[in-house]
């Protein structure tokens, strides 16, 4: 292809051009042809050379080429198309119409034109299309312009109503329709309201309400929220033509919804009275208008709201401004008032910041007025705020004043001092009624409070002092009422005296610290001679230490540890007041403030402390006196009880035990009773200890070593001197000195007696009976001088009981000995006469009575029997009896008759003014069987013949001995045949209280008639039948005699008397020797039999003159002994040594069989004799 030569780019472009199938022409900015390719040459019918440099428009013209030209000049961006007619200068084959497409190139301002030929028909069509398109474009441009205008108007703030009018006008103009309406939706009414319209009656606007119907175009639009178009209202199955539309002659229309914020605002409707189709562009346009309208409406709404909010804000701002102004005015008015008032006044805002404060109140706080302002009450007065805060808040809340709140605490103006104020708070309101602040009035009432507190404290103290009876309780209570109102820590110390021990009480607001202080007191007891260098002045006068310094603390301590303790107490201020008159104070009252409260004492406080001290001292003295009185009362009661006790009938040991326990714990913690034995040794007879675990058992009591007369123990000393021994304190050395035995020392230490008082027990007749020892142990009490008389009085009251007991026991011993010696030692062996006797003493009192019996053998073979009853009991009766007996023996041997003997005896008894007695004397001649008898008031003897006939012998009765000096006595006679039994007895056998004597005699007869033959059994039978099981209250003696011939090997009936043992031994020895036993065997057998015999005697001892039987037999190898006793087991001797005898018998014999039976015990002893084999 032909072209002008160009640079590189141009060369490449030329290549491209050449390759293109379409006709392509390159023109410069002026429209001059620069290049063209072969296809273009062909289309245009020219060659490149012909047209190069010539204007394209010379070739092509017409159509829209003018535009093209203009555009080309403008050199716009995108490719565009134009049509034009080709000039005839080209060949006839060239088409007459061309379509040219122009686009830029990247070669300067050159353009590329691509041409295409078109036929005529095409050209026509194209032109029409162009025209239509242009029309459409023109319409579109108008629409867009209209929408843009509306939008601009809306932005510029055109009123909505005006805007709506503009909108309907624009739509009507652009659509070229008759009727355009804006329908606003009234949702509540379910209807449209015409807001703006063109082409409908003006009266509709704002008035006409059109119901929303689903079958109307507007209803459909609303419902679908989408555009609705119709060509023919009457031929559209969607609708029923609404009346108004019909009225207006509407045929076609287009409607779009107008959006709202949450729901549609309404509908924009364009109606035509002809069939006018609406295109998509129309819809777009109408929608655009509707959007502008919607935006404008929304905008208007937002604007309205904003305006409202702004309005409100403006109002509020105005109101608060007015309130502040009112406050400031009020405050200014109060200023004058404040500064002239004599009391503290302050004014606060609702945050409780000081707005105003006057001089007086500022002084209280201790900071200048200016420095109050703007600060809260809490900042300025932190100590008082906690009390005031609730009140202030209440005032604010209720709007009511609160009057008279008491506030107390320390202030910054005067630290350490406790001050009190009376505060009233009241609300302050502005004229309109709203609360704007708080006012307060403050009056200082410190002095008044102090006086009040003083009175209160004194009243409390008086209460305590008058109600407390115990000193310890008193001290504790005082400390309690003083803390914490008047002190943080309170100490009371009482000095020790001889009568009262050291005491103290401590209280502290902090219980733990109190414990420590109490412990410290135990370790370092308060010593007034060494307290902070004050020395004795602490006891002389009251002392105020306003500020406690380290120096003072150091001087008050007794060592580093103590100083440390004191320092931990953190006491900062103190007062000390002596209790009691100067010179003889009984103690000290110490009051302290510590860091806890930080308060300090002043002179006014000291006055109050002194008053407390005075009252306390009085109360203490009263309490001591009361305690003394009670103690004295207790002692008196104790003495009364001791006195009572001693009269009670108890055996002596039990009585002593009772006394020892009675004095506990009133008068002792430990009590011991010592009884003096014959040799001067002291035996511990009773012992009581207040702690149950420390009592002594009877065994321990019995095994306690006796105190020797040379011992240094207080009881021995008391007895030796006859004076009490008071040991206020018992030193340990004394214990060691008294008791040599370590066991006993330990025991003494265990009882831990701290104080001991010993008094002797003394009887005018019997001298020293023993000693009473009282001791205080764990209770910590001590004996004092005024305890001694009490102890002595106790001893005096107890002594008779002890003495009685001793005497009684002695008498018992004596009587026992007497008894054994006064009754016959043995019943004599009588040829051809069996004899047995029984004696039972009465159960009351001393075991010896006045009954007695005797058997006197006379040389000529006669026997004199006597049985009698001396009036009375005890030793006197026994002695009288003895005398009678011996006299009778003498008289009998003289050969007097029974009556003569009685006569003589009566004379003696009357002359000696001795005890009266009954007596029966029987003289018996065995050879003849004759009996001569006489009775001095004694019950008649009874005879049972061999055939069983019973006969009482009532004859020969005379008066009892000693009844009358002129009594007459007579003899009577009887005969006692062989094998008949004579029974003599005393009235104890037949007499029973509340029973006639005759009954007793009958009973006796009954018993005798049924009694067995064996004399021993006979006697036992009588006792069994006639006596109560437990024995007679009166003595009983029986003497039973039977004349009979003796037969048998060794057969002995012996009275159960110890004196029978020796003769028995002799008889045994003789008999054993005769049967051939060796000396050793004889000894051993004798011992064994003797043991059993002694058993028998012991069984019978104190019961009777019973007999026991010893039988012996020998079969040439074995000797057999049988010992039978009829002993009744009564009052066994306390010692168990009799068992030893039986053991011994068993050891010495081959066999010993003990067979107890209802009528007595039978013991059989066997032994093989070897000696016999030898001999």
- Of the pair 509, 1061, the CB lying nearest another protein is at 1061
- Listed ranges 216-224, 368-376, 909-917, 1093-1101: which one lies at the site for another protein (CB under 8 A): 1093-1101
**Residue 248 interacting with another protein (CB under 8 A):** no
Describe the crossing of helices 560-569 and 511-523 by its angle, rounded to 10 degrees.
150
Q: Which of 70, 65, 69, 101 minimizes the C-alpha distance to 85?
A: 65
User: Rule CB under 8 A: is residue 705 a binding residue for another protein?
Assistant: yes
Closer residue to another protein, CB minimum distance, 755 or 1095 = 1095
Q: Assess 79 for contact with another protein (CB under 8 A).
A: no
**Cα distance between residue 205 and residue 1162, in whole Å:** 159
- Pick between residue 611 and residue 816 the one whose CB is nearest to another protein: 816
Pair 506, 489: CB distance under 8 Å? yes
In angstroms, the first-to-last Cα distance of the chain is 200
The yes or no reply on residue 712 touching another protein (CB under 8 A) is no
* Residue from 1137, 1157, 1158, 1174 binding another protein (CB under 8 A): 1137
Backbone angle region of 496, left / alpha / beta, with phi > 0 → left and psi within -120 to 50 → alpha: beta
Q: Which of 1141, 1161, 1165, 1172: binder of another protein (CB under 8 A)? A: 1141
796 binding another protein? (CB under 8 A): no
**Residue 1057 beta carbon to another protein: minimum distance, rounded to whole angstroms:** 7
Task: Determine, following the binding rule CB under 8 A, whether residue 876 of this chain makes contact with another protein.
Answer: no
Report helix, strand or coil for 752.
coil
Q: Which of 1094, 1107, 1163, 1172 binds another protein (CB under 8 A)?
A: 1094
Closest CA to 1160 of 1132, 1127, 1122: 1127
Stretch that binds another protein, among 8-16, 50-58, 394-402, 1134-1142 (CB under 8 A): 1134-1142
Distance CA 531, CA 982 (A): 104
Provide, rounded to whole angstroms, the least separation between the CB of residue 1111 and another protein.
Answer: 20
Using CB under 8 A, pick the residue from 237, 710, 860, 1115 that binds another protein: 710
- Tell which residue, 971, 852, 970, 879, has the closest CA to residue 923: 971
Q: Which strand (E) or helix (H) includes residue 1090?
A: helix 1079-1100
Residue 64 near another protein by CB under 8 A = no
Contacts of 307 (CB under 8 A, 6+ apart): none
CA pair distance 114, 1069, nearest whole angstrom: 191
Q: CB of 926: closest distance to another protein in angstroms? A: 24
* Residue from 428, 468, 854, 803 nearest 624 by CA: 468
State the pairing for strand pair 419-429/402-409: antiparallel
For another protein, the binding residue among 34, 444, 787, 1098 (CB under 8 A) is: 1098
- Which of 473-501 are b and which e, b meaning 16 or more Cβ less than 10 Å from the residue's Cβ? ebbbbbbebbbeebbbbbbbbbbeeeeee
Spatial CB neighbours of 511, under 8 Å, sequence gap ≥ 6: none
Identify the residue among 1140, 1151, 1156, 1170 touching another protein (CB under 8 A): 1140
Q: Among residues 499 and 1143, whose Cβ is nearest to another protein? A: 1143
* Cβ partners under 8 Å of residue 1048, min gap 6: 1111
CB nearer to another protein: give 290 or 771.
771
**253 vs 1141, which CB is nearer to another protein?**
1141
Question: What is the chain's alpha carbon radius of gyration, rounded to the nearest angstrom?
Answer: 76
**848, burial (CB in 10 Å: exposed 0-12, middle 13-18, buried 19+):** buried
Question: What's the min distance (Å) between Cβ of 1059 and another protein?
Answer: 5
Residue indicated by tokens 């004058």: 336
Range list of H helices, 752-787: none
Contact between 701 and another protein by CB under 8 A: the answer reads no
CA distance 781 to 668: 9
| Residue with smaller CB distance to another protein, 552 or 1107 | 1107
CB of 816 to another protein, least distance (A): 8
* Site membership for another protein, residue 1148 (CB under 8 A): yes
Interface size with another protein, residues (CB under 8 A): 35
Q: Assess 204 for contact with another protein (CB under 8 A).
A: no
Among 79, 249, 374, 708, contact with another protein (rule: CB under 8 A): 708
Q: Is residue 1147 within the footprint of another protein (CB under 8 A)?
A: yes
Least CB distance from residue 741 to another protein, whole Å?
Answer: 10
296 near another protein, judged by CB under 8 A: no
Q: Where are the alpha helices (DSSP H) in 226-354?
A: 243-248, 280-340
Smallest gap from Cβ 1118 to another protein, in A, equals: 21
Select the residue interacting with another protein from 1091, 1102, 1104, 1107 (CB under 8 A): 1091
As a whole number of angstroms, the distance between CA 772 and CA 700 comes to: 19
Looking at beta carbons only, is 24 or 1068 nearer to another protein?
A: 1068
Number of neighbours of residue 218 by Cβ within 10 angstroms: 25
How far, rounded to the nearest angstrom, does the alpha carbon of residue 55 sit from its chain's CA centroid? 125
Query: Token pair 């009263």 is at which residue?
Result: 622
Q: Does 699 bind another protein (CB under 8 A)?
A: no
* Choice between 146 and 748, CB closer to another protein: 748
857 binds another protein (CB under 8 A): no
| Interface segment toward another protein; rule CB under 8 A; list 65-73, 199-207, 463-471, 705-713 | 705-713
Minimum CB distance to another protein, residue 763 (Å): 22
Contact between 1132 and 1139 under an 8 Å Cβ cutoff? The reply is: no
CB of 859 to another protein, least distance (A): 18
What is the closest distance, in whole angstroms, from the C-beta atom of residue 1133 to another protein in the complex? 10
Interface of this chain with another protein, residues 804 to 843, rule: CB under 8 A: 817, 820
Which one, 478 or 1092, has the nearer CB to another protein? 1092
Q: Helices 446-467 and 603-647 meet at what angle, rounded to 10?
A: 10
Report the candidate in 669, 664, 665 with the shortest Cα–Cα distance to residue 752.
Answer: 669
680 lines the binding site for another protein (CB under 8 A)? yes
Q: Is 767 in the site for another protein (CB under 8 A)?
A: no
- Establish if 679 lies at the interface with another protein (CB under 8 A): yes
Return the closest-CA partner of residue 307 out of 297, 295, 299.
299
> Least Å distance between CB 1145 and another protein?
9
Per CB under 8 A, the list member of 88, 529, 584, 1135 interacting with another protein is 1135
Nearer to another protein, 268 or 1100 (CB): 1100
- Considering only residues 430-489, where is the footprint of another protein by CB under 8 A? none
Give Cα separations from 293 to 31, 152, 261, 281, 559 (angstroms). 48, 11, 13, 18, 103
Residue with tokens 């409260």: 597
Closer CB to another protein, 362 or 748, in the complex = 748
Query: Binding residue for another protein (CB under 8 A) from 720, 1138, 1166, 1168?
Result: 1138
Site string for another protein, 1051-1090 (x = CB under 8 A): ------xxxxxx--x--------------x--xx--x--x
Stretch that binds another protein, among 200-208, 544-552, 701-709, 903-911 (CB under 8 A): 701-709
Burial class, 1018, CB count within 10 angstroms (exposed 0-12 / middle 13-18 / buried 19+): buried
For another protein, the closer of residues 710 and 733 by Cβ is 710
Separation of alpha carbons 492 and 586, rounded Å: 11
Q: Could you list the residues that contact another protein (CB under 8 A)? A: 679-681, 705-706, 708-710, 817, 820, 1057-1062, 1065, 1080, 1083-1084, 1087, 1090-1091, 1094, 1097-1098, 1135, 1137-1138, 1140-1141, 1143-1144, 1147-1148
């Amino acid at each position: 292809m032909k072209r002008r030569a160009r640079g590189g780019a141009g060369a490449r472009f030329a290549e491209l051009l050449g390759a293109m199938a379409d006709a392509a022409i390159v023109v410069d900015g002026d429209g001059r042809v620069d290049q063209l390719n072969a296809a273009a040459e062909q289309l245009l019918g020219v060659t490149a050379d012909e047209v190069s440099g010539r204007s394209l428009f010379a070739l092509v013209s017409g159509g829209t080429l003018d535009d093209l030209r203009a555009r080309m000049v403008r050199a716009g961006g995108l490719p565009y198309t134009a049509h034009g007619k080709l000039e005839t200068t080209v060949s006839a084959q060239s088409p007459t119409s061309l379509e040219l497409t122009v686009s830029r190139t990247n070669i300067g301002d050159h353009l590329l034109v691509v041409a295409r030929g078109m036929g005529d028909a095409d050209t026509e069509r194209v032109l029409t299309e162009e025209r239509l398109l242009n029309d459409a474009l023109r319409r579109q441009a108008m629409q867009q312009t209209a929408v843009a205008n509306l939008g601009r108007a809306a932005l510029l703030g055109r009123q909505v109503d005006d805007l709506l009018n503009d909108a309907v006008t624009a739509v009507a103009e652009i659509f070229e329709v008759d009727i355009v309406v804006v329908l606003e939706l009234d949702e509540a009414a379910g209807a449209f309201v015409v807001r703006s319209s063109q082409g409908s009656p003006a009266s509709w606007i704002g008035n006409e309400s059109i119901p929303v119907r689903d079958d109307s175009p507007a209803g459909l639009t609303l419902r679908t929220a989408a555009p609705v178009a119709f060509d023919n209202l009457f031929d559209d199955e969607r609708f029923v033509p609404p009346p108004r539309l019909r009225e207006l002659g509407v045929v076609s229309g287009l409607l779009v919804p107008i959006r709202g914020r949450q729901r549609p605002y309404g509908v924009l409707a364009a109606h035509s009275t002809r069939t006018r189709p609406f295109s998509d562009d129309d819809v777009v346009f109408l929608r655009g208008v509707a959007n502008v309208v919607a935006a404008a409406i929304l905008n208007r709404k937002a604007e309205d709201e904003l305006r409202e909010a702004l309005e409100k804000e403006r109002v509020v701002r105005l109101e608060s401004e007015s309130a502040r102004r009112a406050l400031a005015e009020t405050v200014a008015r109060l200023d004058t008032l404040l500064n002239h008032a004599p009391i503290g006044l302050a004014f606060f805002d609702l945050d409780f910041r000081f707005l105003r404060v006057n001089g007086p109140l500022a002084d209280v706080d201790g900071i200048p007025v200016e420095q109050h302002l703007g600060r809260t009450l809490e900042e300025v007065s932190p100590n008082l705020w906690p009390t005031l805060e609730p009140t202030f808040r209440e005032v604010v809340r209720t709007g009511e004043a609160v009057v008279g709140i008491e506030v107390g605490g320390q202030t910054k103006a005067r630290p350490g001092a406790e001050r009190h104020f009376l505060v009233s708070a009241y609300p302050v309101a502005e004229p309109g009624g709203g609360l704007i602040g708080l006012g307060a009035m403050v009056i200082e009432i410190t002095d008044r409070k102090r006086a009040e507190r003083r009175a209160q404290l004194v009243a409390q103290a008086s209460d305590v002092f008058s109600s407390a009876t115990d000193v310890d309780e008193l001290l504790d209570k005082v400390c309690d009422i003083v803390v914490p109102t008047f002190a943080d820590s309170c100490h009371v110390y009482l000095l020790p005296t001889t009568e009262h021990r050291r005491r103290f009480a401590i209280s502290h607001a902090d219980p733990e610290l109190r414990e420590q202080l109490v412990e410290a007191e135990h370790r370092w007891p308060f010593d007034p001679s060494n307290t902070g260098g004050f020395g004795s002045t602490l006891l002389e006068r009251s002392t105020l230490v306003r500020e406690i310094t380290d120096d003072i603390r150091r001087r008050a301590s007794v060592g580093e540890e103590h100083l440390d303790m004191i320092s931990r107490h953190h006491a900062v201020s103190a007062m000390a007041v002596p209790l009691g008159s100067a010179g003889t104070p009984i103690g000290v009252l110490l009051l302290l403030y510590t860091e806890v409260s930080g308060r300090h004492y002043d002179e006014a406080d000291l006055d109050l402390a002194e008053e407390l001290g005075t009252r306390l001292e009085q109360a203490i003295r009263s309490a001591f006196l009361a305690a003394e009185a009670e103690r004295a009362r207790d002692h008196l009661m104790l003495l009364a009880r001791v006195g009572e006790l001693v009269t009670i009938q108890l055996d002596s040991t039990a009585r002593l035990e009772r006394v020892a326990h009675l004095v506990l714990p009133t008068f002792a913690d430990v009590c011991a009773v010592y009884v003096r034995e014959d040799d001067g040794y002291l035996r511990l007879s009773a012992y009581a200890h207040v702690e149950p675990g420390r009592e002594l058992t009877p065994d321990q009591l019995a095994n306690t070593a006796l105190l020797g007369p040379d011992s240094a123990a207080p009881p021995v000393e008391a007895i030796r001197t006859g004076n009490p021994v008071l040991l206020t304190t018992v030193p340990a050395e004394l214990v060691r000195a008294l008791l040599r035995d370590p066991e006993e020392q330990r025991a003494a230490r265990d009882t831990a007696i701290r104080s001991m008082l010993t008094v002797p027990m003394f009887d005018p007749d019997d001298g020293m009976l023993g000693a009473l020892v009282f001791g205080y142990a764990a209770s910590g009490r001590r004996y004092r001088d005024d305890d001694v008389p009490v102890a002595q009085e106790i001893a005096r009251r107890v002594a008779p009981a002890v003495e009685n007991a001793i005497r009684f026991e002695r008498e018992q011993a004596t009587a026992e000995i007497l008894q054994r010696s006064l009754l016959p030692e043995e019943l004599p062996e009588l040829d051809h006469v069996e004899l047995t006797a029984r004696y039972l003493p009465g159960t009351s009192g001393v075991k010896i009575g006045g009954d007695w019996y005797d058997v006197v053998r006379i040389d000529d073979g006669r026997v004199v029997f006597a049985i009698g009853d001396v009036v009375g009991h005890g030793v006197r009766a026994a002695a009288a009896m003895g005398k009678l007996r011996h006299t009778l023996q003498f008289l009998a041997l003289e050969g007097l008759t029974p009556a003569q003997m009685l006569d003589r005896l009566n004379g003696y008894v009357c002359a000696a003014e001795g005890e009266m007695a009954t007596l029966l004397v029987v003289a018996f001649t065995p050879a003849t069987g004759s009996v001569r008898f006489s009775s001095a008031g004694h019950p008649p003897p009874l005879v049972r013949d061999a055939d069983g006939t019973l006969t009482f012998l009532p004859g020969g009765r005379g008066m009892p001995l000693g009844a009358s000096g002129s009594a007459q006595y007579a003899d009577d006679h009887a005969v006692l045949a062989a094998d008949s039994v004579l029974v003599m007895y005393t009235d104890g056998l037949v007499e029973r209280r509340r029973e006639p004597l005759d009954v007793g005699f009958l009973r006796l007869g009954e018993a005798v008639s049924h009694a067995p033959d064996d004399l021993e059994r006979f006697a036992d039978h009588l006792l069994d039948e006639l006596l109560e099981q437990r024995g007679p209250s009166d003595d009983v003696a029986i003497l039973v005699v039977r004349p009979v011939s003796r037969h048998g090997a060794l057969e002995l009936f012996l009275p159960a008397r110890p004196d029978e043992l020796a003769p028995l031994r002799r008889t045994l020895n003789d008999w054993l020797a005769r049967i051939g036993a060796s000396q050793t065997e004889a000894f051993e057998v004798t011992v064994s039999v003797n043991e059993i015999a002694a058993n028998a005697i012991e069984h019978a001892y104190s019961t009777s003159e019973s007999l026991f039987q010893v039988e012996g037999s020998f079969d040439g190898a074995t000797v057999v002994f049988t010992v039978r006793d009829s002993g009744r087991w009564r009052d066994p001797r306390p010692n168990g040594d009799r068992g030893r005898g039986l053991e011994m018998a068993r050891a010495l014999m081959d066999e010993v069989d003990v067979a107890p039976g209802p009528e007595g015990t039978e013991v059989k002893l066997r032994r093989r004799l070897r000696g016999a084999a030898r001999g």
